[in-house]
Structure 1
């Protein structure tokens, strides 16, 4: 779960504190864990696209552990595809930052040193392409969120009309999109006869490796069929399942970290104790010893992807939309309401029959652990943050399970209430008539539909269900239309808090 929306604010010099950097590491308090290796000995082997809070709280931590074990050729070059904020914050700190792990028992602080360099792609596209084309780069990983793939979420196909894709075809050496940069670098490696890097998607996409391969190959084919065939035959796209809750870092978080360090860190990340990374073991160009850092290597990650998307992410989104409408600022706050907690559990229980897991997988225990994690009082994960980009998230988080339940002849009222919550949310007006800051790639389109339909469930639900890029053929299913329309009518009638409190699954 990524952290979007954070903006860089220059540290206040009035604080009079040192700035975190290589030179100030030895002035940290003794209890602060720091890199257990000489950073000057580390060489880059990974380029990461989308160096936001989630990557820095997850994959970069795994690499930090491996560097401490001697894997000196696997440092990270991080790239921001949009904003310079991360670079501007990290460069004065020699790319060091604090990981603050919070639980009810307190906070542990750790300095992460695995990021060696940060690049702002729009400012230096040639530099980023050169880094990716360098034979030393053996893995290109991504956390660019669902919308960063420039695809249609329901079909999982490249959106050839996406503005960034149109631009990248016209300017192949100065791309904007993740697919554009990947293909530009692979084209150079093909021309040079260099072994291609492995592309490692770490985003919340069903079959994320397969989806990334399809999108990248489709984009490459628009440039060169020969290049597309080479990528199809030679480039590995292992799928992954990544799991750690990473809220948006606040000014209060920065102040707390500064107090613990005795110096300023402009760009810390806050997270929970739990972390999980499951990866398909397909790395022709080589990989670090992931297992030594607790990564689970498997031959097929699909069941675990579905488990996370349909249990964790689905219930998270359900709590986000309905919780926001009910006035809860954070997931933990929503979980203090017994009916919201029960509703989240029901989302998981209804999704469970749609999953085909390896023998020995305890879905009930996993669900219990999720409810405990959601209730972490020290983790202020805002409902508004999770509600972002719903048009990209709904298909794999909620709609896939609904489709399976309909095929199995099972009711979908639990998930329908969550979808109705999203519909109510994207009208951009809350229950008191106040404005909602809806962040979504098609927010304007959704609001136009909502404005035309008005706050009438019988008009609004069918109109939104016709957005094929989200709902596909599912939007035309009469059972889907009935369940979602009834749920939306309930939200308009009694409000989200009361609707959840009165909810009883069929």
Structure 2
């Protein structure tokens, strides 16, 4: 390994084709604190912000924070916060070094330090990429889960919170006490109506702390909705080696992504914002329709490909798409089951969007692992699949592909694949899901499906009453048991137009 790390001193010696910060990083003020500084944030919101800082908007430096571990801090600290965004498509690579991140804090190591950072007068936006489970809510109802261990802890220990909600309310309490204004709280997670959800759970948490504070927060914060889209696989050691070969220095924090990036934002900010629209973002009055299109088409298709592809032995999404049966399946799913459930704006070319998704899924330069996408399914499925499913059930529409997807998810959470190998299921409800499988599978697939559809944290209270759905998933489980996932995918006869 090259002992030379990417850092401020190394910038001048990078290859000419590498885009790098040309501004004075020491003069950048902190305007944003971001909770959950993982690879996606670094390839998306921080990347957008970098374009505006480079254009002269020097009030929007980012302090990143991890609420779990010091891994990202340990990558970035020796590199002066610098990291590279590597855009890859078949045969082409573009590298940009991002300097927007001024510091990275680790909440569990020093909660007071993070609270103080969020309470700085210069901070006008606190943004979040903490995944669905980070909102400590009940996915079926959208309300705060007061029994969540982190919420219980934070209400008892407000000076050393664990949850994002605990940090946000704690920082706002400090600002109120100091006579400072509040800030905009910006969710950048894949959740339907993410701004409304964040506003609701934030208000519910604040009510538990102090009603007067809760009212002040209601008057001194906004929670705009956003829709984010960029495929960012987990960076591997092989990726880091390839980046080192290209840069001539080691970048432990490199992120690999695709050229495509989309950000739709509700323009509802309290005290200003970067001109992200000049970097390609879109400010709108109503994000929800764009969000719905993305959640149901991109994310819904991703989850379908992840569970079925993983069980069929495919490591990456591109591997799944290389199987003609899966490519036809996802085309059918989008065209026949998802699109009818969406009131597509007349100015939006939905066919072109689907074709673009197929092209992005087939990008072999991105090693987007099916296992990574399959994480936290109990939190994702209600948003990605069940809205489509409820629409089709209500309107007697097709449910073949979505029932196939659900059957594959049930097999996935059993923790054993088709070859008898163990699956490492990463999901906050993994133990409960496994218990349902182990308890009811011996009684047969019909009993198993009944038990799962009766699991309200995922399926709510209504889907268990659909005989059509129960029958469809049960039939797919029978076929999966007999023939396996790939053979079953070949049995679906898509009435779909090839998307190119």
Greater mean deviation of Cα atoms: 482-491 or 37-46:
482-491
1:108 maps to 2:108: no
| Correspondence for 2:485 among 453, 472, 496 | 496
218, 223, 237: which one aligns with 2:209: 223
Match of 1:212 in 2: 198
Which residue of structure 2 aligns with residue 482 of structure 1? 471
Q: Is the 8 A contact 1:315 1:344 kept in 2?
A: yes
Over 6 Å off, 4+ runs: none
Contact between 1:468 and 1:475, CA under 8 Å: does it hold in 2?
Answer: no
Cα distance in 1, alignment partners of residues 239 and 436 from structure 2:
38
Partner of 1:33: 19
Residue 383 of structure 1 deviates from its aligned partner by 0.3
TM-score (norm 1): 0.95
Contact 2:183 2:220 in 1 (8 A): no
**Unaligned regions of 5+ residues in structure 2, if any?**
496-500
Asked if the contact 1:240–1:279 (Cα under 8 Å) also holds between the matched residues in 2, the reply is: yes
Whether 2:432 is the aligned partner of 1:445: answer: yes
Select the residue among 252, 270, 275 that pairs with 2:238: 252
Matched residue pairs, number?
492
Which residue number corresponds to residue 268 of structure 2? 282
- Once the two structures are TM-superposed, the CA of residue 412 in structure 1 deviates from its matched residue by 1.5
Alpha-carbon distance in structure 2 between the residues aligned to 1:359 and 1:31: 41
- Given that 1:413 and 1:505 are in contact with CA atoms closer than 8 Å, whether structure 2 keeps it comes out as no
Choose which of 199, 222, 226 in structure 1 pairs with 2:185: 199
Matches within 5 A, 1:305-454: 305-349=291-335, 350-454=337-441
For the 8 Å contact 2:329–2:494, the answer to whether it is kept is no
Partner of 1:4: none
Report the equivalent of 2:498. Answer: none
Give the Cα separation in 1 of the matches to 2:454 and 2:173: 39
Equivalence for 1:138: 124
Instruction: Indicate conservation of the 8 Å contact 1:462/1:485, yes or no.
Output: no
Instruction: Check conservation: 1:102, 1:378, Cα contact below 8 A.
Output: yes
Match of 1:184 among 146, 170, 175: 170
Query: In the alignment, is the contact (CA less than 8 A) between 2:267 and 2:284 conserved in 1?
Result: yes
CA shift at 1:483, angstroms? 2.0
Alpha-carbon RMSD across the aligned residues, in angstroms, is 1.2
Match of 1:55 among 36, 41, 50: 41
Once residues 147 and 493 of structure 1 are traced to their aligned partners in structure 2, the CA distance between those partners, rounded to angstroms, is 35
Match of residue 92 from structure 1: 78
Aligned partner of residue 101 in structure 1, secondary structure = strand
Q: Distance in 2 between matches of 1:488 and 1:150?
A: 32
Gaps (5+ residues) in structure 1? 1-14
Q: Write the distance in 1 (CA, Å) between the matches of 2:29 and 2:170.
A: 23
Q: CA deviation at 1:505?
A: 5.4
Whole-angstrom distance in 1 between the partners of 2:450 and 2:218:
39
Q: What SS does the aligned partner of 1:247 have?
A: coil
CA distance in 2, matches of 1:116, 1:483: 52
In the TM superposition, residue 300 of structure 1 has moved relative to its aligned partner by 0.5
Deviation digits for residues 460-495 of structure 1 (CA, Å, limit 9, x no counterpart) = 222121210100023312222222222222221211
CA deviation after TM superposition for structure 1 residue 411, in Å: 2.5
CA deviation profile, 1:245-289 (whole Å, cap 9, x unmatched)? 000100100100000011111111000010000000000111111
CA shift, 1:86, in A, is 0.2
Q: Are the aligned partners of 1:403 and 1:474 in contact in 2 as well (CA < 8 Å)?
A: no
